[in-house]
């Protein structure tokens, strides 16, 4: 049994980690921390855990937690994570960080979008934890930066055509829509039921902080620097991200050929599914699962490829992917403990 | 491996059975039928199953299906089930019927609420499949009538105080609220998103067909004939039932004593949880799980007991309970393959 | 033109007042206040007002505001209102208070449920502003305490049968369900989209502060002291309250007779509608309007009357009713400026 | 008083017309038809009209209805409308057609997307009813083809920059998201609450029938033939369309300059509002109103203009716009009877 701890466990990604880890046959959760809820049983904060765990939130130090666990998930806000992570690294524990702090290779780029990086040394030794792209490095890593939710949906949606150079890298537009859980559990007016239900809006148009993370990975795939348009929207659903991605096709190909390209690229992947030619995925087919479903369309009238990809932002976009990474880092079957059938309806 | 089939598998309870059975370690699903979708792959009708099953809906006869399976779930509308069930019984297969057709012991009472019963002989040999009340009979049964969703929430909510005779049986009022999946997948105006979202209504006030089923089981528990007020409402959520149940207290008892009575009554039950004294449960703590959560309040001003109980109508209220019954009928651990942590948020 | 001001205008009831008053032909809104948003244009806080008003929130004192207006709406939290109201009363301005502070006649009862009352003198001169019950007093009043949302739905739902003494006053149970806007715009975890959507719960079972207000008015109607069971629930909709009310019938009457009793009682009322015999109302028929729709059912099996009443909690349950009171206090046609057709779907 | 009739009045656009027309001071609704609900009072089909209208649906012929009314709204499905419209035209009545049948000038283009046009003669005399673009023709028209909902949001969103030739017409991508009422009230699985709530999907990617309508009007504005990418999505809300529109900027301009261009272009328009520079609109600011709100962003990193426009699909996208057209055709103030403040929350 791997002993794992969740550092910063009272938010939605923290409780989702706990939910999934309690069903995972190879791990034992030894601690979960929260300053706000220190000394409160988890089942009082989240009554769905009533009778299922005796864990109580603690405000233990990184050192104490590192002393209990083989592997630690950091589910902290960005900016906080980079101050905590080095303490865990120093103890030799494996770390999977769910914040944005260690996803961007270039500290200068990080600085331009997030502010100064205060743990550049730790940053050097981290691996970007998207298994479908970096599986072998993840297996060998001791510190994995778990990808953002929007980036996961967009990078997986474009990898096959970028790798094959079938599209113009300068033409990429990603129009993404996310459920409200992506905004976390902090009380704020913009996340209230009365503000979100029946509503819909774009936000941070042209300047969302996931942009450099997406561009970093797309550029690696394309083999050249890429700049994209990325527009996030707030969808009145609890979970899920759908990205509609547009790009100009440079390699003449039929719908069937593009579909085949995707199917071949992801043939061995346990958590990526390609829709039949001409089909596009529905968010509801992946909510509750670790899948990324992708559908492609070739618009002959305009010469554009349109890719639609969907994930559950709390699972494949956060906690599920973190467990997928944990499995890889620990030599377990990558699929262990991860849900595959969506909860529908 | 137990070979199971789903007869009438294209509705929401049918697909929920399939979802749960695919994760069940002790069964193999050998067939699922649907007249409407005959010869269509399940994963085309329900794309969340893409890559997870090769099953195709068939319109095979009961005899053909009985020839393939050890146990058959009937997920048919009431009225249809009673015409199909005898064919399965004749083959000696175990049957779990999710319709209302075999829940009411007295064919005359059935007739008064549903119309004439056409399979009275089969009715004689059936067991009402609420494990918390009839576990031993279920273990020995070969035909189980799976309880209705509303009845499950109300019977479990009242069993301890009826058994102990702490309330006046003539005073019971059950005000229940159900998610829309209870209405099934048939296209009808009343189930459209635009009619349900932002709306709320009572329906079939004083004459819902679950009334005699509830009264039958409550009467058994109370040891005397009971008549109750039962008002169902349509809640703008997909899954879940919450019942608020009122009764006049006849045995003077404090909140703590009533809470203890409930905790003791359900101490050994794997799927019933009692909230701490003074707490009432939220639907969101059970949606996606097989739990029934119950909270009790003693209103000293009025001398009434108020019980709130919640279930996922498609799991503990239908398909999960059916699998719980299958486990019991098959000598498996009752909890096998049943989800316990709710999907939240 | 009547000059009106809104004191405490940045919450949902405040903005709803503004929305309705901007369409009212007989008034001019001269000021709206908010400490949090002082000096911010209303249209920045609530962009639906873009181009429709030049008002800016101020933090002006009661004296300053009283100097500008003929009539003031107080849309403040309870406890705050009683500290502000006397200042307005002193200036001779008409006041309509939307808080709970002046609804309960008996300062001792107020104290038992809310804490000490600090404006008992002002309390003496107020009128409970439910026009269907107290119209003539409202016409002559200079200080009206606008009713609570739950009380409005329950009092209107029971008035005919209490007045006629057709039910047992000791048997009343009100099971009410409210949309989330009733909780206001304060950011709190319990009002977040992710906590409310797909969820449902009872809260403050047996001890909600609207109980004494409801009992005060029901007792007046019944001509004797009444104690009721009242259970509020949080409904995953933005607007609306539906109350399902149970009472034992003491006067033998058919469904048609009870329906006629209600129709006769409310025949002249512009904002109460009675459903045809056997019909119950849907929340969606009143959301966006000032109507209270009521449907009655006689359950012969149990001898109980079941009343279902629906209102828009922000309109008939708050701001619309306040304007109805303003119209009465100002000698205008009671219906002026009040919306009647629900926004559907 | 103008006498108006609604031909095909039982769908969502028909009932929305009725709702708005009942509040319109210059018209009297003399008839509304429905084959399905013939001889049923409107208030039974739509209980929100209880007590507000005595109208009963009829299945009267076009000739009969034309005999009663000065102006007829056709709220029929496409394909049906073109068979009915000529009968009304023959009587000399003014007609506003809400279907797609008369929006496309070129019968050949219509044929390619919808099938053969069977009323080409009538088509010659129709005007495309987008007042912001074709106001003077509408004033003189006797037959107006009311625009589609998606086209309204996209054409208004691009008109200023196309007219000024500030963008590359070949670069336009419109990613649109619509509420479910756009699919009408026909019962179908895809519109059920359980299929839509918590879900999100793109549909008809690259081949939605609104495409030629959008291109026709954009081409007129640009002064050259345009081909665009248009992707509709189904949003889990009842009302509203948000379009996110991308285009490459060819005329170097700052955010402030583009914002000014839009403000100038729409300065006299009663129903178009431009957000302050850097702001984008929320659907919730227009639902319940006849407004189109537009926000623009200049993405310097990619050289693209991003326009976000929102409307209520049933009001500015259908019935409200139809009444705006009626006002123009009848010499009334264009704003008469049209709601401007959104219902929020």
The 10s digit of each residue's pLDDT in D25-52 is: 999 999 999 999 999 999 999 999 999 9
| Residues of chain C contacting B195 with CB distance shorter than 8 Å | 284, 345
Active site (catalytic) residues of A: 149
Q: What is the mean pLDDT of residues B21-31?
A: 97
CB C202 within 8 A of CB C140: no
Which of C92, C95, C68, C77 lies closest to C3 in space, CA to CA?
C68
- Token pair 């008549």 is at which residue? B227
Which of D222, D332, C198 lies closest to B288 in space, CA to CA?
C198
| Bridge partners, C173 (sequence order) | C229, C246
Helix, strand, coil % in chain A, rounded to nearest 5: 35, 20, 40
Q: pLDDT grade, residue C116 (50/70/90)?
A: very high
d(CA A255, CA B276): 58
Which of C163, C192, C161, C127 lies closest to C274 in space, CA to CA?
C161
Dihedral (Cα; A43, A44, A48, A53), 10-degree rounding:
10
Q: Tokens for B160?
A: 């301890």
- Give the CATH number of domain A150-314; options: 3.40.30.10, 3.30.360.10, 3.30.565.10, 1.10.260.40: 3.30.360.10
Chain D, 223 to 252: residues with Cβ < 8 Å from chain C are 238-239
Q: Tokens for C251?
A: 């006067």
C236 and B237 in contact by Cβ < 8 A? Answer: yes
Q: What is the mean pLDDT of residues B241-267?
A: 97
| Residues of chain B contacting C298 with CB distance shorter than 8 Å | 206
Query: What contacts 24+ positions apart, CB below 8 Å, involve A322-325?
Result: A322/A17, A322/A73, A322/A96, A322/A98, A322/A129, A322/A146, A323/A17, A323/A20, A323/A21, A323/A24, A324/A131, A324/A271, A324/A290, A325/A96, A325/A129, A325/A131, A325/A138, A325/A144, A325/A146
CB C214 within 8 A of CB C157: no
d(CA B287, CA B289): 6
Residue C97 pLDDT? 98
Residue C234 pLDDT? 98
Q: Tokens for B90?
A: 């004749």
Residue D117 pLDDT? 97
Neighbours of D90 (CB within 10 A): 12
d(CA B304, CA B15): 40
Fold match flag (A2-125 vs A150-314): no
d(CA B226, nearest CA chain A) in Å = 33
Query: What are the residue ranges of helices labelled H in chain B?
Result: 12-22, 42-45, 62-68, 81-90, 107-114, 120-124, 131-140, 149-163, 193-196, 210-222, 255-265, 320-329
pLDDT (tens digit per residue) in B148-157 = 999 999 999 9
Considering only alpha carbons, which residue of chain B is nearest residue D192? B192
- What Cα–Cα distance (Å) separates residue C123 from each residue in C7, C105, C119, D103? 19, 7, 6, 63
Give the list of residues 6+ apart from residue D182 with CB closer than 8 angstroms, or none: D149, D241, D313, D317
Q: Tokens for A253?
A: 């190909």
| Residues of chain A contacting D175 with CB distance shorter than 8 Å | 175, 244, 246
Give the list of residues 6+ apart from residue B194 with CB closer than 8 angstroms, or none: C345, D12, D180, D181, D185, D191, D238
- Token pair 């109805």 is at which residue? C324
Q: Tokens for A194?
A: 């009365």
Q: Tokens for A171?
A: 């033409």
First-to-last C-alpha distance (Å) of chain A:
35
CB B59 within 8 A of CB B40: no
Instruction: List the chains bordering chain C where 3 or more Cβ pairs fall under 8 Å.
Output: A, B, D
Q: What is the mean pLDDT of residues C75-85?
A: 95
> Nearest 5°: CA angle at C235, between C231 and C236?
165
First-to-last C-alpha distance (Å) of chain C:
34
**Does residue D216 sit in helix, strand or coil?**
helix
Considering only alpha carbons, which residue of chain A is nearest residue B290? A48
Q: Is A263 on the interface with B (CB under 8 A)?
A: no
- What Cα–Cα distance (Å) separates residue C118 from each residue in C49, C79, C102, C112, C123? 36, 9, 11, 14, 9
Cβ-nearest to C273 among D23, D51, D286: D51
CB B81 within 8 A of CB B102: yes
C197 and A12 in contact by Cβ < 8 A? Answer: no
Residue D159 pLDDT? 98
Residue D259 pLDDT? 98
Residue D26 pLDDT? 97
Q: pLDDT grade, residue B168 (50/70/90)?
A: very high
B192 and D197 in contact by Cβ < 8 A? Answer: no
d(CA C9, nearest CA chain A) in Å = 16
pLDDT (tens digit per residue) in A314-328 = 999 999 999 999 999
C47 and D285 in contact by Cβ < 8 A? Answer: yes
Q: Is A113 on the interface with D (CB under 8 A)?
A: no
B19 and A48 in contact by Cβ < 8 A? Answer: no
Instruction: List the chains bordering chain A where 3 or more Cβ pairs fall under 8 Å.
Output: B, C, D
A197 and C12 in contact by Cβ < 8 A? Answer: no
ipTM over 0.85: yes
Q: Is D199 on the interface with A (CB under 8 A)?
A: yes
d(CA D345, CA C238): 6
Residue C232 pLDDT? 98
Percent of chain B with pLDDT over 70: 100
C231 and B287 in contact by Cβ < 8 A? Answer: no
d(CA C307, CA C311): 13
The tens place of each residue's pLDDT in chain A, 345 residues long, gives: 999 999 999 999 999 999 999 999 999 999 999 999 999 999 999 999 999 999 999 999 999 999 999 999 999 999 999 999 999 998 989 999 999 999 999 999 999 999 999 999 999 999 999 999 999 999 999 999 999 999 999 999 999 999 999 999 999 999 999 999 999 999 999 999 999 999 999 999 999 999 999 999 999 999 999 999 999 999 999 999 999 999 999 999 999 999 999 999 999 999 999 999 999 999 999 999 999 999 999 999 999 999 999 999 999 999 999 999 999 999 999 999 999 999 999
Q: Tokens for B265?
A: 């009554």
A192, A200, A201: best to mutate for the C interface, most C CBs within 10 A: A192
d(CA A275, nearest CA chain B) in Å = 8
C280 and B203 in contact by Cβ < 8 A? Answer: yes
Chain A, 273 to 312: residues with Cβ < 8 Å from chain B are 273, 275, 279, 281-282, 284-286, 288-289, 293
| Residues of chain C contacting A44 with CB distance shorter than 8 Å | none
CB A57 within 8 A of CB A34: yes
d(CA C303, CA C13): 39
Residue D293 pLDDT? 98
d(CA B276, CA B285): 14
Residue B187 pLDDT? 97
- What Cα–Cα distance (Å) separates residue A258 from each residue in A165, A243, A299, B29? 12, 18, 12, 34
d(CA A264, CA A161): 12
| Residues of chain D contacting C279 with CB distance shorter than 8 Å | 47
Which of A225, A227, A120, A131 lies closest to A173 in space, CA to CA?
A227
d(CA C87, nearest CA chain D) in Å = 31
d(CA A177, nearest CA chain B) in Å = 18
Query: Is the whole-model pTM more than 0.90?
Result: yes
Q: Domain-by-domain residue ranges, chain C?
A: 2-125, 150-313
Q: Is C48 on the interface with D (CB under 8 A)?
A: yes
Burial of B199 (0-12, 13-18, 19+ CB in 10 A): buried
d(CA A249, CA A256): 14
Residue D193 pLDDT? 98
Q: Tokens for A179?
A: 């459920």
CATH number of C150-313: 3.30.360.10
- What Cα–Cα distance (Å) separates residue C330 from each residue in C25, C46, C74, C90, C337? 13, 29, 17, 19, 13
Considering only alpha carbons, which residue of chain A is nearest residue C181? A194
Pairing of the two strands C241-248 and C304-311: antiparallel
pLDDT (tens digit per residue) in B169-213 = 999 999 999 999 999 999 999 999 999 999 999 999 999 999 999
Length of chain B: 345
d(CA A300, CA B141): 61
d(CA D220, CA D225): 8
Residue B85 pLDDT? 96
- Token pair 């529905």 is at which residue? A282
pLDDT (tens digit per residue) in B321-333 = 999 999 999 999 9
d(CA A69, CA B187): 52
- Average pLDDT of chain D? 97
B199 and C282 in contact by Cβ < 8 A? Answer: yes
A187 and C188 in contact by Cβ < 8 A? Answer: yes
d(CA C343, nearest CA chain B) in Å = 11
B185 and D189 in contact by Cβ < 8 A? Answer: yes
d(CA A162, nearest CA chain D) in Å = 18
d(CA B340, CA B335): 9
pLDDT (tens digit per residue) in C150-160 = 999 999 999 99
CATH number of D2-125: 3.40.50.720
Considering only alpha carbons, which residue of chain D is nearest residue A306? D205
Q: Is A181 on the interface with B (CB under 8 A)?
A: yes
């Amino acid at each position: 049994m791997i002993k794992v701890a969740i550092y910063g466990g009272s938010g939605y990604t923290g409780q989702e980690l706990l939910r999934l880890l309690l069903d995972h046959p190879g791990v034992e959760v030894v601690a979960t921390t929260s300053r706000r809820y220190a000394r409160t049983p988890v089942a009082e904060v989240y009554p769905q855990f009533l009778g299922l765990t005796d864990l109580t939130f603690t405000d233990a130090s990184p050192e104490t937690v590192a002393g209990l666990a083989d592997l630690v998930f950091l589910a902290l806000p960005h900016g906080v994570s980079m101050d905590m992570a080095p303490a865990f690294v120093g103890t030799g524990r494996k770390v999977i960080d769910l914040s944005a702090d260690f996803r961007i290779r270039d500290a200068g780029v990080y600085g331009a979008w997030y502010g100064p990086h205060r743990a550049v040394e730790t940053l050097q030794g981290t691996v970007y934890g998207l298994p479908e792209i970096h599986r072998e490095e993840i297996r060998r890593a001791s510190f994995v930066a778990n990808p953002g939710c929007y980036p996961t949906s967009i990078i997986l949606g474009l990898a096959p055509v970028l790798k094959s150079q079938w599209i113009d890298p300068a033409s990429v537009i990603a129009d993404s829509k996310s459920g409200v859980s992506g905004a976390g559990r902090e009380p704020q007016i913009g996340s209230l039921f009365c503000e979100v239900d029946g509503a819909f809006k774009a936000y941070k148009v042209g300047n969302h902080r996931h942009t450099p993370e997406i561009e970093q990975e797309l550029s690696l795939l394309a083999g050249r620097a890429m700049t994209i348009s990325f527009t996030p929207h707030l969808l009145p659903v609890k979970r899920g991200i759908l990205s509609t991605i547009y790009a100009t096709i440079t390699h003449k190909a039929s719908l069937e050929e593009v579909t085949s390209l995707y199917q071949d690229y992801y043939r061995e992947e346990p958590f990526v599914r390609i829709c039949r030619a001409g089909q596009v995925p529905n968010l509801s087919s992946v909510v509750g699962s670790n899948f990324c479903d992708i559908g492609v369309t070739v618009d002959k009238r305009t010469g554009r490829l349109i890719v639609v990809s969907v994930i559950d932002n709390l699972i494949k976009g956060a906690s599920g992917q973190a467990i997928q990474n944990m499995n890889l880092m620990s030599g377990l079957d990558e699929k262990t403990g991860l849900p595959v059938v969506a909860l529908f309806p």
